[in-house]
Every structure is written in C-alpha cells, then in structure tokens.
Structure 1
C-alpha cells in the first residue's frame, strides 16, 4: 500500500491588516439570476453548455509585491499567490479577466462575470463563478478552441457537458433544459431527520398565522437557522417554497417551538416533491415580461406588506422574489405600486444584462392586477397622494 501525504503552504490571512497587507478584497461573483438567464438563453438557442474547473485557482493570482521602506526602489514579488490570503479571490479574478480580454473577449456591461466573444457570425459566452466556468456557443469549433486555450493556460480538473453547478443538477436535452436540486433536497431531509416524515401536498397551510409567540418554548436557534439557511439555497430552483421560507426566516432571532413545528411542513412538502425544478424549453421565445402582486398589511406584527414578483424570458422563469417590504402601506394601491416598482427595477437590470447577449427590447410588459396602481404608475406628476410612498426594497 502506498501512502502519499501532501503539504501545502497556507498564509495566516487573519494576521493581515487592511491598508498594509491588502486594500481591496472584493471579487465579482455571478448572481443566480444570471446563471438562470444563461441557461434559458442557451436552451432557446439550442446549444449545449460546457463546464470547467480550474485546479488551485487562487494560486494563479498574483497579489501586489511588498514594498520595502529600506529599499523603496525594490519590491518582494511572489511567484505565485498563497492560500489563505484575503486578496486571493480578487487576484484570481484579475488574472482570469486579463487572460480573457487579451483573448478577444468583451466583458459584460452590467454583469462583470460575463464574457462574450464574437467571431464571424458565431458567438461564445463564458460565465465565471470564482473557479467554476460555464461556457457555450453557436459554433462547436469555437467552443473546442476555447477549451484547448484554457487548458494550455491553466491546469484544468474537470471539463465536459454542464451537469452539476453550485449544487444545481442540470439536464440538457434537444427539447430543453431541466434544472433541479433533487440530490440537495434529499441531503437536507436526511440532515434534519425528516427523511421518514409524512409527505404533504402544500408547503404551508392557508390559515397559517404566525406571530412572535414570546410566551412559547424557545427552540434551538442554531438548528433553526441551519434549517432556514438550507431552505434558502433550495429556493434557487424552487419558487414554490420561497414565500413560506421567507415567512419563517423572520423569526430567526428568537425562534420558538411553534415556528419550528410550522416549518417542518416545508420539509414534508419537499418529501412529496423532491424532483420539482425549472424547465427551460428550446422552443421558447426570448421576450421579456414581469408580474407583480402584493397583499396589504399582511404581517400581523408590524402590518407591513409582502410583495411577490416574477420575471420570465419567454416561457422560462428566470427570476422571482417574495419578501416583506420596509415600509407600511396606507392602501392596497400603495402596496401594489411598491411591488410593481420592485419588479420594474429587476426588469431594467435584466434588460441591460440581456443587451450583452445581443437582445434588444422596446416596451416590456409589466402585469399588475390593480387598476389604481397602474394609474398611479402612469401619472408623471408627483402629487400629494404619492409623494410619501417609500419604494425602498
């Protein structure tokens, strides 16, 4: 039997001091909405996405050299970065961005993790998430050329058709793309001992009315927050549970047994529907539209509204939200108006993002089921009935 031990030099990042050892550590990361937009776009265009993973990505970054006060005209230069440095993610992003730009790619105007290459009538799209890279295009030769180019520049550990990405399971076929988190769902059911629970057909009851329950028995805060965190990531492909998860997430500061008992129903619903996900049809058009709705004073504690929005690219659902707003509405008109404003801001971001894909939109339909809210939105005059409305999300 052969035993091999690997040693790795790791820097003690917690000893670094801001302004001395590093300045900026921020590195752009792709939003989940951007990933879903790319999946829907690729399915509509009919090309398969590929994925690659870079080995030891952070070692490819090159942080700035350390200047010596004794020799101001000299610097200590690292040949490679070290693990544990706070600026390692930013250094890796700068290294990869520089390589892609030198290779002829154009960075997205809104999404800085999106890079596009046009050659002749063909287009290659690259989306990066730290060291995970998704790419695809209309030309097989262009895709193969990019894969070979990356392999020569970096040491790759995984290449092939996109199947697993950020715990998302992706199945690409001629009729479309199916995105789900069935394995992750089973993992969290097992983690919280809900694998043998009785299945339920809905994530929450229609007559559920939760409050702070200050006199109730306290629940394990660590476990409750762990359950909420696991469910929040599951909403990346499960919009059907988002309202319920965000409702229970309001009580993380002081969870009670009643809150934990009510939240168990979501896990029982997941036991009944582990395979649900998102379907992006290959025959879907690339039109953009949005829907918004809101309840008035839905929260029993502070009487704030809960707004719900969703945005579709053709028939593909790529973005959605369900959250309690920061302001208290005085009428249903204001509630609907605030929800519509939130949906509109997301549509504007999507419109700008899709322009990098070569898609241009004129008027984008936003559907609201309130005639009075539509009238307020169309009124360009800031009169006394609307000047007090807070649309901060």
Structure 2
C-alpha cells in the first residue's frame, strides 16, 4: 500500500483542496491481488487504490467513457504475418497505465483510507490524472498513449483503432494495444527497440521480451509458426466449476442434444452458470471448435436449467480432454483468403431462427470464425444461406481493408465455399425470385462483390464444409473429421480445386 501511495504522489495524481459544496465527491478503496506467472507460480502481491466509479454522476464528473481494445481477429491476422521467419514479436506492459491519463473533467475524491493527511484531514483530492475504476480512466489512458504513438510516426488503423501502423521507407511495424498490454512486431529489431525506448521515456514500462503469455493466452513460436492455447486459463475455469476431476469427452455437443428454454428444471446456481459460460466465451478466442456449443449455452443465460448446465459441463469435459490444444497460425508465403459459410435452417426450437456459421482462412491460418443466430426467421434454406453469405462477405471485406492497411496483397480473389446450390447460383446470377425478394439487399451486396471481381462464391460438398462445426451439434465421427481438417488446413487442397475457376 505504501509503495502504491508513493507512486500516486510521485505521479502528481491529485491535489488536496477544501471540499467543494456544489460538487460530487466520490469514494475510494484499496484492493489486493496476487499476480501469477504462466506456470501458476506467484509473481508478486499488489495493492491498488481504486475509485468507486459507481458514485460518479454523468454530466458532472464524467462524460464520454468509450475506449477501444484490439479485436481478437486483428491479433490473429497480425500474428499470422509475424509467423514468417525473421519477424519479431515484442511484448511490453505499462505499469499503472490508467494513472497516466489526463482528466478533462473536475473529479473530487475522498482521501485514501489509511493515508489521510494529518494537517488537512477534511480536504479532498482533486484528481489531476485518472486512477483505476473511474468511468473515464480507460478513455483518458488510450488518448494519452495514442497521442504519443502519433508523435513517434504511427498511424491508427481505420479498421481497428487499437492497431497502430508505422511505415518507414517500406519497413513495417505494427503495434497492438489492449488496455496496458502492448505487442510490437516487425522485421527490424533495432526499430522495435527504439520504439520501446521512446515509450519508456514517458511511461514506466515492463519489457517482457518476446511474446509468451498475452491476455491469458500462451504463445509458443516454432519453425512452423505460432501456436496459441489457453491451457492455464481453462484449468482455472475447470477448477472454479469443480470439473477439474471430470472424465474427458471427445465431442462438446452431441448431435442428439436439443436444448430449449423449456428444457429441464431451474438451475440452482445461476451465477455459476453465467460466470462459466462467460469464461467459455473467452476460450473461443483460440478454440473455434466449441463456438457453437458455447453460443448455444449463452442463449439460456437469463434463465438456465439443470439440462442447460449439463450441456455446459459437457463442454468442460471436452476441454478437459483437449486442454493443450489451441490454434496454430502457420508461416506462409501467401495471404489468400478462403472462407466457408454454412447455416442450420430453423435450428432453434424456441424461435425457429437459423444459425449462421463461417470460418475464414488467411493463407494456411484460421483467423476469423463466427457462430451466430440470425435476427429474423427465414422461410427457406436458400434465404438463410444467403444471409450467411452476406455476413461472411462483410467479414471478408473488413479483413481485406485491414490487410490493405498492413500492405499485404493476395494473389487470388477471396472465395466463399457454400454447399447450398440455390444460394451459390443466386450469388453469381442476376435472378430475383419472388420467394427471396425480402432478402434483396443481402443478395445485391454479395452479387455486387462477385460482379466486380472482388469475390468468388463456389459450391463445396457437405463432406468438406468446415463451417458445419459452427452451426450444429455433430456426431463424434463427423466432429473428429472436420476437426482434423481444421488442424491440417484443408484449404490448401480446396484452393487447388477452385484456383482454375476463380482466376
């Protein structure tokens, strides 16, 4: 506590002033945490002074609060590029990051417990800089960091405002920001070191060296590329759910499982259900194969039953047996885009809405995937497939814009593989049938991309449709087959089959 208080005073975080009569004065408190290494050993004990932001009043001591963090797809795309030989990925952590944010509002806070000034016991702290748990602290910190990066020659990405790009005479450097965790990657080690030194001159940095543990994700480099896994995080989730001794299973969701809001009796511990499903959503960052099962469980967060909890436990049992598995980002000489789009028509027994699923490869690496229930009920399978195509096309366009900013070009036109002949035909031919007029906007969007030569839509057999993993529960044999195709990057084989048509 004393070290933290001394750091706050040295940072000129506040000035003691008489308590204003017409201003809101917020409370503060100390919180304590034991930080751990990736091997679960204790790293250090830390005390932190935090404000009780719940007592702030909008329009008086805060206004705007939004602060961006880097998207998970952006991280995977940049790390896929960094998997190339010769690229360096450096990790730095900013100490007490929020304390560097400059406040534009007048914020008054009570003196910290245990550190009340004996000469001015009735004074309050007028904050000069942000502290943790203020509503505007993340925004103030990001604004301060962004301004410094602009001074160093970086430009913010238009696709992801937490990605900063520096292009010096053709030498590219990328910087990713997730609150106080920063990744810097590029091919020039001296240039990266210069940026680290410049940031360290203004902020207290902890240089972590080459990336190895980032946002609860373990990162391992090899000659094949970069491997991401969350085994430590998964082990913690299993322990909290008291499933660390459970028997492993090879499939997260059975093809026979039909869950609805009316399934089973109310679950006794709804907090456990919600916290576990929330944690599993984070695991999907590196485990696309559980995305559909987790998405299914998420739909019952408001009123879970015992059968819903059994489905969550099945996901945990699957993770127990595959805890060391993760996502492989492979080194590649080309960065062509290939996507799979699928849909489960009227699969929700409660609403009869369909689930769209897609997975997008960049070269040999899976960088984006989605399992999402459509917002409206569809009257035909072709209609649902077309909405799924439009959703996948939108994500591809975003990735293309991101790659353009990263100065990455592709030798092939992005291709979407779909196993519905009707949707594939409508995607490339100017036909408008009365039964699908109400999805005309989605149709025109996809057709425009195809007609301009910016996109190919091709048929793929059901056997090779990898997006099946993201739309429905599968038999164990089918699940294992598609899982192996994902691991082996089956897109290499399929790209050869469609290359002649799409050139």
Calculate the TM-score normalised by the size of structure 2. 0.72
- Counterparts of 2:228 and 2:333 in 1: how far apart (Å)? 16
Give the equivalent residue in structure 1 for 2:72: 32
Give the CA deviation at 1:301. 2.0
Give the equivalent residue in structure 2 for 1:72: none
- Counterparts of 1:11 and 1:294 in 2: how far apart (Å)? 46
Gapped regions of structure 1 (runs ≥ 5): 68-75
Number of equivalences = 382
1:197 to 246, 265, 269: 246
2:199 to 115, 134, 150: 150
Is contact 1:11–1:85 with CA below 8 Å preserved after alignment?
yes
Specify the SS of the correspondent of 2:435. coil
Q: 1:25-64 counterparts in 2 under 5 A?
A: 25-44=65-84, 46-64=86-104
Is contact 1:43–1:282 with CA below 8 Å preserved after alignment?
yes
Give the equivalent residue in structure 1 for 2:423: 373
Is 1:90 matched up with 2:139? Answer: yes
Specify the SS of the correspondent of 2:324. coil
Is contact 2:266–2:303 with CA below 8 Å preserved after alignment?
no
Alignment RMSD (CA, Å): 2.3
Give the CA deviation at 1:348. 0.8
Deviation string 1:69-128 (CA, Å, 9 cap, x unpaired) is xxxxxxx99643333322111111111111111111121122111111122232111111
Give the equivalent residue in structure 1 for 2:190: 141
Is contact 2:263–2:307 with CA below 8 Å preserved after alignment?
no
Is 1:16 matched up with 2:56? Answer: yes
- Counterparts of 2:144 and 2:270 in 1: how far apart (Å)? 41
* CA gap 1:382/1:190 in 2 versus in 1, 3 angstroms: same
Specify the SS of the correspondent of 2:348. coil
1:258 to 303, 307, 310: 307
- Counterparts of 1:82 and 1:349 in 2: how far apart (Å)? 35
* CA gap 1:95/1:215 in 2 versus in 1, 3 angstroms: closer
- Counterparts of 2:276 and 2:243 in 1: how far apart (Å)? 11
- Counterparts of 1:195 and 1:390 in 2: how far apart (Å)? 50
Specify the SS of the correspondent of 2:256. coil
Q: 1:330-349 counterparts in 2 under 5 A?
A: 330-349=379-398
Calculate the TM-score normalised by the size of structure 1. 0.91
Give the equivalent residue in structure 1 for 2:179: 130
- Counterparts of 1:197 and 1:329 in 2: how far apart (Å)? 40
Deviation string 1:126-178 (CA, Å, 9 cap, x unpaired) is 11111110001111111111111111121112431111111111112232100
- Counterparts of 1:319 and 1:13 in 2: how far apart (Å)? 35
- Counterparts of 1:83 and 1:97 in 2: how far apart (Å)? 19
* CA gap 1:215/1:43 in 2 versus in 1, 3 angstroms: closer
1:161 to 206, 210, 219: 210
Gapped regions of structure 2 (runs ≥ 5): 9-48, 108-124, 443-503
Give the CA deviation at 1:306. 1.2
Is contact 1:239–1:320 with CA below 8 Å preserved after alignment?
yes
Deviation string 1:305-341 (CA, Å, 9 cap, x unpaired) is 1111011110100110112211111111111111111
- Counterparts of 1:253 and 1:87 in 2: how far apart (Å)? 29
- Counterparts of 1:129 and 1:363 in 2: how far apart (Å)? 32
Is contact 1:341–1:391 with CA below 8 Å preserved after alignment?
no
- Counterparts of 1:11 and 1:190 in 2: how far apart (Å)? 31
Deviation string 1:198-219 (CA, Å, 9 cap, x unpaired) is 1111112121122223663544
Give the equivalent residue in structure 2 for 1:174: 223
Greater Cα offset, 206-215 or 379-388 = 379-388
Is contact 2:332–2:364 with CA below 8 Å preserved after alignment?
no
Is 1:234 matched up with 2:310? Answer: no
Give the equivalent residue in structure 2 for 1:245: 294
Greater Cα offset, 383-392 or 198-207 = 383-392
Specify the SS of the correspondent of 2:197. helix
1:385 to 415, 435, 440: 435
Give the equivalent residue in structure 1 for 2:150: 101
- Counterparts of 2:264 and 2:241 in 1: how far apart (Å)? 26
* CA gap 1:257/1:146 in 2 versus in 1, 3 angstroms: same
Is 1:364 matched up with 2:414? Answer: yes
